[in-house]
Structure 1
Amino acid sequence: MNQKGAGGLNEAMLCAGGTLSLPDLTIGARSWRIIEMALLYVAAPFAVDAAVHDGGIPVFIALIPVLAIILIVLLIDRTFSLRRELTRGFSLAQLGSILLVFAIGGGIVATYVAEYLPSLFLEFPRNRPETYQRIMLLYPLMSVIAQELVYRTFFFHRYGLLFGRAWWLAILLNGALFGLGHIVIGTPLAIYGSAAIGVLFAWRYAIARSFWAVFIEHTLWGWLVFTIGIGRFFFTGVGILSWR
């Protein structure tokens, strides 16, 4: 197994938790993975955006081909174990870090909305409690799992080796691509906000290499967005994710 220990942010930390071995990539293989990354994380979001907004296709339907390709690649890849990825835990220290960052960062965001956007603050749970409850229940299952498999598990397993020791570049690029992936929503806040929080998720995954650690962190921030009243800026206006 060509993999170093998990003692810090080094080359080994840029793989997924379910990575069994790190293959030696030829120049041709590296070039193809760069092209592949551009197709899946840059071209595909624009294609999905066109299908949703120009073709009127529900966003979940438009995303199926991309999700299917990524899942198939993971399942047939002998250097990756989905079972290992989904059974890998994380430490109490990591949980404490997740909760501390959320308490501080989430508190700042909630305070800002309450102060400067008072008409939106808590309007969703107050005005539509039943819909709010359904979203809080379904969001982790219907959205977070797929997003984390695509943007953290697959990205770090498939493309982590491309960055060598430039772990910071992998994390920043992952955040930027995560923001671009939200272009279908059609609001600047969805793109830039997702890019910023995507950097946090990418850093968390690079450190913990735990799907469930970043799943919990992603869920907490998503719940916050819907609770404090800015969820409308993170919903697409077409298809089954329509906010209105």
Structure 2
Amino acid sequence: MNRSEALTTPPVALTRLRFEFCLFFIAAPLAIAVFLPPNWMFPALFAFTGLGILLLHATPGFRWAELRYGWANWSLRELALFAGATAAFCIALIYVTRPDAAFALLRYRPELLAFIWVGYPLLSALPQELLFRPLFFRRYHALLPEGRRADLLNAAIFSFAHLMYWSWIVAIMTFVGGLFFSWAYRKRGSFFYAVLLHAIAGNIIFAVGLGVYFYSGNVQRPF
């Protein structure tokens, strides 16, 4: 826990924040993953996202204008390295785990892939980053451990939010992705960079064919 913040935050407020944190980041994703039928998952996620945006708006000291701070704190070289490494990893993974799905959208539904490439950054990457970076680090900063442990916790929570897919592949990819997105937001101080990395990673995932693991219709619960 951030000791300086904990010392200045009233115990009642800390208790409320802990309860809220556990309810939002643990109980809600768990309930979606365990109890809801696949066709209800995405409506529940939209409601979850809306609630998170309201919580962020109500966070003391938060201003929406701060999301544009440090927007240019990234380089094309870094971006190219990230995109190249992500593409190489995803291509290797799809051929090892689901070669039948490799580049399926690109080959058979290029118009759908184009729609995803346009829509994913705005409809998925952006709202996810609002919840798992500014909301997580700004609203609950008094609860978080210091240094690198906060990034590890953030990545673990981000990965847990994808439990509804019941896939170890999704769990690993989202944990590693969470580390990069947290780094962009915290170390580079750029929400824009976090969204950009998230959008690139997601679009590569769908182009390569790994979107089969992120499709609710393919979800198979282990119980």
* TM superposition score normalised by structure 1: 0.77
Consecutive unaligned residues in structure 1, runs of 5 or more = 1-10, 12-21, 239-244
- Distance in 2, matches of 1:116 and 1:213, equals 30
Aligned residues: 215
- Partner AA of 2:50 in structure 1: A
Quick check: 210-219 or 74-83, which moved more?
74-83
Contact 2:49 2:128 in 1 (8 A): no
- Distance in 2, matches of 1:96 and 1:23, equals 42
**Which residue pairs with 2:214 in the alignment?**
234
* TM superposition score normalised by structure 2: 0.84
| Structure 1 position 183, deviation (Å) | 1.4
- Distance in 2, matches of 1:44 and 1:52, equals 11
- What percentage of aligned pairs have identical amino acids? 25
Contact 1:70 1:154 in 2 (8 A): yes
Contact 1:95 1:213 in 2 (8 A): no
> CA 1:187–1:207 in 2, change beyond 3 Å: closer, same or farther?
same
Residues 21-43 of structure 1, C-alpha deviations (whole Å, 9 max, x = no match): x9931233223222221111110
Consecutive unaligned residues in structure 2, runs of 5 or more = 219-223
Contact 1:160 1:170 in 2 (8 A): no
> CA 1:121–1:210 in 2, change beyond 3 Å: closer, same or farther?
same
Q: Does 1:66 align with 2:48?
A: yes
Residues 32-82 of structure 1, C-alpha deviations (whole Å, 9 max, x = no match): 2222211111101022234532xx653332124322322222223341001
> CA 1:108–1:185 in 2, change beyond 3 Å: closer, same or farther?
closer
- Distance in 1, matches of 2:141 and 2:99, equals 42
| Structure 1 position 128, deviation (Å) | 1.3
Name which of 50, 66, 72 aligns with 1:84. Answer: 66
| Structure 1 position 219, deviation (Å) | 0.6
**Which residue pairs with 1:14 in the alignment?**
none
Name which of 120, 142, 150 aligns with 2:131. Answer: 150
Name which of 170, 188, 192 aligns with 1:212. Answer: 192
- Distance in 1, matches of 2:30 and 2:199, equals 25
> CA 1:138–1:150 in 2, change beyond 3 Å: closer, same or farther?
same
Larger relative helix fraction: 2
Contact 2:39 2:216 in 1 (8 A): no
Quick check: 40-49 or 187-196, which moved more?
187-196
> CA 1:108–1:186 in 2, change beyond 3 Å: closer, same or farther?
closer
